[in-house]
Amino acid sequence: MHTVVVGTSGVTASDVLAVAREGARIELSDAAVAALAAAREIVDALAAKPEPVYGVSTGFGALATRHISPELRAQLQRNIVRSHAAGMGPRVEREVVRALMFLRLKTVCSGHTGVRPEVAQTMADILNAGITPVVHEYGSLGCSGDLAPLSHCALTLMGEGDAEGPDGVVRPAGELLAEAGITPVELREKEGLALLNGTDGMLGMLVMALADLETLYKSADVSAALSLEALLGTDKVLAPELHAIRPHPGQSASAANMLAVLKGSELTGHHQDDAPRVQDAYSVRCAPQVAGAGRDTLAHARTVAERELAAAVDNPVVLPDGRVESNGNFHGAPVAYVLDFLAIAAADLGSIAERRTDRLLDKNRSHGLPPFLADDAGVDSGLMIAQYTQAALVSEMKRLAVPASADSIPSSAMQEDHVSMGWSAARKLRTSVDNLTRIVAIELYAATRAIELREGLTPAPASRAVIDAVRAAGVQGPGPDRFLAPDLEAADAFVRAGGVVAAVEPVTGPLA
């Protein structure tokens, strides 16, 4: 099994995906253990002094003015975890919780948190044992960290609350730890706070969304090319010299992908035949511009994610010179903005894909295709309601594109009076990514059927490869009406698994 070694200087997006989705094992580097021990010495020295230090010998948030005596500090750390584990609503997905825990461990191992090495090792042991804390949908405002979600994880570390075992069954965390031979942690000064104070949930969801969207944008370029082909459109608008004079990198990449897919097609270039048209509709002609802008948004979001992956987010932090200083690095604004930005770009990509699907189904705009791609229009409805489903998904994506980060709501007796809502931005982006996958799947379903209905014209070799792969995946071709939902589900599974890109690249070479 793949092993991820956590050091003092952050982790990569690939590390996050390996732990969250593939169950990779985690090891702590010697440097990380040494940094943990050194920072802990500083915290212990401060804890022994009579002067109050925030997070070490004081209360938290609006209660930070109270100095806590040594005999109550262990109770204080337990209490902050118990009281902050106040999430509600449905359970969050296993991969999100694993990413959340792993990224908190990454910051702990930076040596800036003051957490003991044995606490970090226990976090790694829990992940390696396949134990996943029960984390709920609601409880984070994206500031002072993803507090409730991280608290539910810390509760498991203490052997309290509920968690999911490696068999998928939810049981008391104490039982699961005992079966795995893991001793629950007795938290000491600052450790409870250090386990809660991070942007780890929203960052983990950003990293996973970026990975999913990278594949989806390539898939959308392919489905757009197939729609252009099915509509007998022109590929001249994809010429690299046209995109070079508007030098957005994403636009050029999308145009190049479409051009590669369409190479060798007998269907393109017939837009001047029976019903001459000077130009294709915007949804066809401007596909690289819209998808390209989304690609450039991905690039910006990836830069933010990389910076956050290299960060140590905690408050207060232990500095190399021995100071323990308060800060505002837990504020989720940098991550929240790009999560919202991605939801906007995804909604627009879904919207333009739906417009192309609608053109394929409309006999007045499809240039010779049967109404709704039906076998016997009137007796058969064809893909009419598949487009309804696609339209409903697009409409929801537009609602999900409303930024969460534009909102703020004060908490903690006005001490935490401006928050990022980054967790909410991440949660709705996950729904957007799911919806976009389904939208691309429906366009692909319609475009492959439409190409097969163009008798006498041979599609591009790459298009043929996609059609063959789609059919092999259980998505049926043209014919009389049938129970449509299974076909759509199979198309969705095909796109979700990266089947579009896998089918095309042996013909086109790697897509950009």
Per-residue pLDDT at 18: 98
Please tell me the distance from the alpha carbon of residue 5 to that of residue 469, in angstroms, as a whole number: 38
Secondary structure of 328-374 as H, E, C letters: CCCCCHHHHHHHHHHHHHHHHHHHHHHHHHHHHHCCCCCCCCCHHHC
417/18: higher pLDDT = 18
pLDDT band at 276 (very low <50, low <70, confident <90, very high): low
Please tell me the distance from the alpha carbon of residue 392 to that of residue 372, in angstroms, as a whole number: 17
**Residue 1: pLDDT over 80:** no
282 catalytic, yes or no? no
Per the CB < 8 A criterion, the answer to whether 327 and 144 are in contact is no
Task: Give Dmax (Cα) for the chain.
Answer: 90
* Of the candidates 362, 311, 391, 308, the residue with the CA atom closest to the CA atom of residue 110: 311
At 111 the three-state DSSP class reads coil
**Residue 33: pLDDT over 70:** yes
The pTM for the full model equals 0.95
**Structure-block tokens of residue 223:** 């489905």
Please tell me the distance from the alpha carbon of residue 507 to that of residue 271, in angstroms, as a whole number: 26
**Residue 271: pLDDT over 60:** no
**Residue 62: pLDDT over 70:** no
**Bridge-based pairing state of the strands 132-133 and 162-164:** antiparallel
Half-sphere exposure of 181 (CA within 13 A, CB side): 2
**Structure-block tokens of residue 245:** 């004079």
Per-residue pLDDT at 467: 98
Q: What is the DSSP letter of 93?
A: P
**Residue 296: pLDDT over 70:** yes
Tens digits of per-residue pLDDT, 88-143?
999 999 999 999 999 999 999 999 999 999 999 999 999 999 999 999 999 999 98
pLDDT band at 201 (very low <50, low <70, confident <90, very high): very high
Residues sharing a CB contact under 8 Å with residue 347, sequence separation 6 or more, in sequence order: 394, 397, 398, 400, 401, 432
Per-residue pLDDT at 274: 61
Looking at the DSSP bridge assignments, the partners of residue 88 are 138
Tens digits of per-residue pLDDT, 356-415?
999 999 999 999 999 999 999 999 999 999 999 999 999 999 999 999 999 999 998 888
Tens digits of per-residue pLDDT, 145-158?
899 999 999 999 99
pLDDT band at 277 (very low <50, low <70, confident <90, very high): low
Per the CB < 8 A criterion, the answer to whether 341 and 299 are in contact is no
Tens digits of per-residue pLDDT, 419-469?
999 999 999 999 999 999 999 999 999 999 999 999 999 999 999 999 999
Per the CB < 8 A criterion, the answer to whether 199 and 142 are in contact is yes
